[in-house]
């Protein structure tokens, strides 16, 4: 699988897609794109430790809709704290498909896709031989 450049998540009806070219987008633009479809996010700010002048702080934007949660984390200083900007998706919604793995699909089919994707495969959990949730994290630049 080719490594593709991504900018933000675009939500269309029941699908979530990573769009091209977002590496150049500012944090506010990424939050704005998600907010158009998902509404105003819950915002949590960790000010960081006074010991490090707040350089280890970060801001988290959280969108919840049905059985899906999207989290966007933006650190104050990536080089200082080692935490990178990233988007996490956690869903147990049967309409969600990430890199071909869908909630409700057979475990064996998901394992075949996972094997093909290698390191790009999303994490998923199974119950009764079917995928019951998907989790994926995307680093941003």
Any domain includes 13: no
Print the domain residue range for 116. 27-139
Any domain includes 99: yes
Q: What total number of domains does the chain contain?
A: 1
Any domain includes 5: no
Any domain includes 92: yes
Over residues 90-138, the pLDDT tens digits come to 999 888 888 889 899 999 999 999 998 887 788 999 999 999 999 988 7
Q: What is the pLDDT of residue 30?
A: 66
Any domain includes 85: yes
Over residues 43-69, the pLDDT tens digits come to 888 877 777 676 667 788 899 888 989
Global pTM reads 0.69
| Radius of gyration of the chain from its Cα atoms, rounded to whole angstroms | 16
Any domain includes 75: yes
Distance CA 90, CA 65 (A): 11
Any domain includes 12: no
Distance CA 87, CA 8 (A): 8
Any domain includes 93: yes
Over residues 73-95, the pLDDT tens digits come to 887 776 666 677 788 889 998 88
């Amino acid at each position: 699988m080719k490594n593709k450049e991504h900018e933000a998540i675009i939500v269309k009806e029941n699908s979530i897609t990573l769009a091209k070219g977002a590496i150049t987008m500012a944090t506010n633009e990424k939050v704005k794109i998600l907010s158009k479809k998902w509404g105003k996010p819950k915002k949590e700010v960790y000010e960081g430790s006074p010991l490090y002048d707040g350089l280890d702080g970060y801001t988290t934007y959280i969108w919840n809709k049905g059985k899906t949660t999207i989290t966007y984390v933006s650190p104050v200083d990536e080089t200082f704290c080692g935490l990178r900007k990233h988007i996490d998706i956690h869903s147990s919604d049967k309409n969600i498909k990430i890199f071909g793995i869908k909630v409700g699909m057979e475990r064996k089919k998901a394992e075949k896709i996972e094997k093909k994707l290698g390191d790009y495969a999303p994490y998923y959990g199974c119950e009764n031989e079917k995928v019951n949730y998907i989790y994926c994290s995307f680093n941003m630049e």
